[in-house]
Structure 1
Amino acid sequence: MRTSRRELVAVAVGLVLVVAAFVVPHLHLGIVTPLINATPERIRSFADTAPIFGWWNAHVGWGTIPAVVIGAAVVLWGPAVAQRLPWRAVPWVTWATACAWAFSLAMIDGWQRGFAGRLTARHEYLRQVPTVTDIPHALRTFSDRILDYQPDSWITHVSGHPPGALLTFVWLDRIGLGGGAWAGLLCLLVGSSAAAAIVVAVRALTEESTARRAAPFVAAAPTAIWIAVSADGYFAGVAAWGIALLAMAVGRTTRWPALPAVAAGLLLGWGIFLNYGLGLMVLPALAVLMCASDWRAALRTAAPAIVAALVVVAVFAVLGFWWFDGYHLVQERYWQGIANDRPFQYWGWANFASVVCAIGLGSVAGLGRAFDGAAIRRRPGLHMLLLGALLAVVFADLSMLSKAETERIWLPFTIWLTAAGALLPPRSQRWWLGVNVAGALLLNHLILTNW
């Protein structure tokens, strides 16, 4: 196997980041630490395994054997199967594999602790669902309850997100699918479908062979550790399909490209009412539009998408929730909590170590090839998608509104980075795919992740 200088540099930087992020908390370097003004008990609760949110706990579970089998199968046969399957089957098989991989990783921690009970924790959305008896009233008064230290403040995760996130679980409960298992299943199915969305988008903007090479990397990505049981997995899936539909419109892979453009706008518009941070999906969206044949084609795609997104904004405004009011109040709420004790001097760079853990060193190696000017000029699709997602991560970091827990919070961006493995030479892809799978298994078995 031959490795280029760009791959080596990217992997070396990633390794240094990860090692430093895990070691620095134990060096007592003052403010360059994951948590300040904290007791040993609080450090164990919030920074025991920094930069990953969790606790050291070497363990195995019901999901161990299935996870090892699925991971090994993807490494051994995934690239060949992805090349031989009829194209129509590739997104479906990629989704099914990603779903099984994510569920098996969750089950390493057990059914209740690893899956059914995750979204019923005291700061999670499901604890708030029974209190929403009047949805129109909840929307009208949503912003009034964002700030902390009020008698009727929303619980942490509800206050930190627009109302669409809570509404999703309220609607799920209203149709008789209440409880942690159903909520977890929604997050698992929608979140893992992002793998299919990515290969669809890559094919629309590049060529089918590139999408096929990306399929094994997105199907067995380490990001799956956090997709199965966090609402951010659901957010990532919604945003991914929004970008994929936009790519289909730009690539004109359908007879009426305006239809996927409108659908993309509706999904991306809905996305910003699930998570304020999804406003940064404008960067991957712009990257997609830059792949259009000319500015007129980009405008023909962007116009219906923007109008559709504004319709979603208008509906929420009419119902009583103005996005910008919520966003400004959330910033204030953020600094009322633990954010004050998480210094940017550590998390400003340790967040990127979390990204390396989430996407795997194999995908990091692929990112080393994303900055190839000649390749971008020749066929910009995948390179532009990767650079757009990477730029979104950088902006999210610089905002200082994402300190810690970014392996989960940044899923809508990092899932795209896993596709970077498609840029690696074919003969080395199986090796790097194995590195990703081994890293995910190691991390999930050594750390009991909080999500």
Structure 2
Amino acid sequence: MTSCETPRVTSEERAARRLDTVAAAAGALLVVAAAVVGTVIERVNGSLHVNWPPLYASWSPHLGPGTPAAVVIAVLVIVHGPPLAARLPWRRLVVLGWAGALAWTGALAMIDGWRTGIAGRLTTAYEYLTVIDRFDDLGPALRDFAHHILNNAPDHWPAHVAGHPPAAVLTFVGLDRIGLGGGGWAGLWCLTVGTSAVAAVLIAVRALAGEPIARRAAPFLVLVPSAVWVGTSADGYFAAVAAWSLALLAVAATHGTSQLPRRGAPIPAVAALASGLLFGLTCYLSYGLTLIALIAAAVLVLARTVRPLPLVAAGAAAVAVAFTLAGFSWWEGYLLLVERYYQGAAAVRPYAYWVWGNLACTVLIIGPATVAALRRVLAAAPAAGRGLRPSAGPLRDPADRLVVLVLAALFALLVADLSGMSKAETERIWLPFAAWLPAACALLPAARRRAWLTAQAVLALLLNHLLYTGW
């Protein structure tokens, strides 16, 4: 074949591409159905407690200072992303992936302007920065933390402080203590740390499924619609901590294999311990992120090893012991949170709507390209599952290894959905699970990558320009 010839597309691949389009269209129909049904429910009885179902958002068409930058960044990633991802040295690609995600997410946030889009997000009545002064004396504040979770408790915490273990608010207390107080620094923290999840997912995918797969996934991890929420909520920061925990676990579990060649004996031990510390922190940032353990289990299954587990457990236990000795009981906090959850909007939000309406939110944060790629993941799942049998040995096909990793993230998301503890607002709450799903786009055909990247960018730009997203 000469360089000017295009690769021949088989009838099988043509059929697969048609099914990709059908899957993306089905995702769009799910969103339309959720919007129509949700609007009817909200107008009839107001039980959804959202202005623009299924999203926690309001209709607000607007342009802003971030508009030109967002459009330019989208075009650059669409045009230059795939070839750069294919040829850049690996470390530069990881850094550029993070930088690209930071630029894209920051530009989207700036469509709403500096104050509304970044600096004011964590200063509202529901957010963490409103209670910073209540942590001047850290010991008593932690010992008394659980006593202020319920809505009928004296001086009860605002929604987001009550809804999370204390590591969430302590992050912003810590920033304030080192002179980085206020909404601007808090917003930049969430924006910068949150976008680092792209680098973490790239590292994990490379360790588990090989570098070619990770390179193909890179542009899709950058240009994802979930950036609309990563840049405007602390949940993006939580997603990054969870992602780095899993990335370090993948490095520890696969070090010395063909996926990740051995380069120094201490690396697995250090990575495993750091993974455990970050997993412990993840659990004290958000109760629901204990489900990240499901993805961690898939990492160990793919690596065919449990060697990192003792150090991972030691790291996680160290975090738990530290908070317990400081006076906060995770389990007590969780039980009180469940009680508070049903003291508010969750008591009337209908499970029958949100159990599928949440999935429509997920379609919007992962985008049509990821929906199409998930179709390929589900189609490949039976074969990948057979390859996981103990008698089959390790999975050799990198695509099958990616399939298992993505399925684990999807499973964790579905467990969160069925739990009933995620009724609405999942466009931000599920960012830690959704961060892994765009990696499936590595399975999309090379000839269609720019088209799918365009669809991702257009959706994100429409969401940010037509809606004002809450939280």
TM-score (normalizing by structure 2): 0.90
The alignment status of 1:439 with 2:459, answered yes or no, reads yes
Please name the residue that 1:263 is paired with.
Answer: 274
Cα displacement string for residues 368-389 of structure 1 (whole angstroms, at most 9, x for unaligned residues)? 1112033563334321221111
User: In 2, Cα distance between the equivalents of 1:326 and 1:93?
Assistant: 39
The alignment status of 1:374 with 2:383, answered yes or no, reads yes
Please name the residue that 2:390 is paired with.
Answer: none
User: In 1, Cα distance between the equivalents of 2:25 and 2:383?
Assistant: 24
Cα displacement string for residues 156-196 of structure 1 (whole angstroms, at most 9, x for unaligned residues)? 11011000001100010011100001000110111000001
The alignment's C-alpha RMSD in Å is 1.6
Please name the residue that 2:330 is paired with.
Answer: 323
What is the correspondence of 1:15-414 to structure 2 with a 5 Å cutoff? 15-26=28-39, 28=40, 33=41, 37-38=45-46, 46-252=49-255, 253=260, 254-255=263-264, 256=266, 257-292=268-303, 294=304, 298-371=305-378, 372=380, 373-374=382-383, 377=387, 378-379=397-398, 380-414=400-434
Deviation, 1:63, is: 0.5
Cα displacement string for residues 280-334 of structure 1 (whole angstroms, at most 9, x for unaligned residues)? 0011111111111x3xxx2212221112111111111111111111111100000
User: In 2, Cα distance between the equivalents of 1:364 and 1:59?
Assistant: 27
The amino acid of 2:35's aligned partner reads F
The amino acid of 1:18's aligned partner reads V
Matched residue SS, 1:121: coil
User: In 1, Cα distance between the equivalents of 2:334 and 2:237?
Assistant: 20
Alpha-carbon contact 1:288-1:381 (below 8 Å) kept? no
Aligned length: 437
Deviation, 1:3, is: 5.7
Alpha-carbon contact 2:165-2:286 (below 8 Å) kept? yes
Percent identity of the aligned residues?
51
Higher mean C-alpha displacement, 382-391 vs 279-288 = 382-391
Deviation, 1:267, is: 0.3
Alpha-carbon contact 1:360-1:435 (below 8 Å) kept? yes
Please name the residue that 2:5 is paired with.
Answer: none
User: In 1, Cα distance between the equivalents of 2:349 and 2:360?
Assistant: 16
The amino acid of 1:340's aligned partner reads A
- Counterparts in 2 of 1:341 and 1:36: CA distance versus 1, 3 Å: farther
User: In 1, Cα distance between the equivalents of 2:384 and 2:306?
Assistant: 25
Alpha-carbon contact 1:37-1:341 (below 8 Å) kept? no
Alpha-carbon contact 1:358-1:414 (below 8 Å) kept? yes
User: In 2, Cα distance between the equivalents of 1:282 and 1:447?
Assistant: 34
The amino acid of 2:356's aligned partner reads W
- Counterparts in 2 of 1:450 and 1:3: CA distance versus 1, 3 Å: farther
Deviation, 1:227, is: 0.6
The amino acid of 1:446's aligned partner reads L
Cα displacement string for residues 240-299 of structure 1 (whole angstroms, at most 9, x for unaligned residues)? 00010011111113533121111111001100000001100011111111111x3xxx22
TM-score (normalizing by structure 1): 0.94
Cα displacement string for residues 67-111 of structure 1 (whole angstroms, at most 9, x for unaligned residues)? 001011111110001111111101100000000000000011111
Alpha-carbon contact 2:38-2:54 (below 8 Å) kept? no
User: In 1, Cα distance between the equivalents of 2:44 and 2:143?
Assistant: 37
Please name the residue that 1:422 is paired with.
Answer: 442
Deviation, 1:150, is: 2.0
Alpha-carbon contact 1:34-1:346 (below 8 Å) kept? no
Matched residue SS, 2:273: helix
- Counterparts in 2 of 1:21 and 1:120: CA distance versus 1, 3 Å: same
Alpha-carbon contact 2:295-2:412 (below 8 Å) kept? yes
Alpha-carbon contact 1:10-1:365 (below 8 Å) kept? yes
Cα displacement string for residues 196-236 of structure 1 (whole angstroms, at most 9, x for unaligned residues)? 11111110011111111111001111111001121101100
Matched residue SS, 1:270: helix
The amino acid of 2:302's aligned partner reads C
User: In 2, Cα distance between the equivalents of 1:35 and 1:237?
Assistant: 37
User: In 2, Cα distance between the equivalents of 1:375 and 1:365?
Assistant: 18
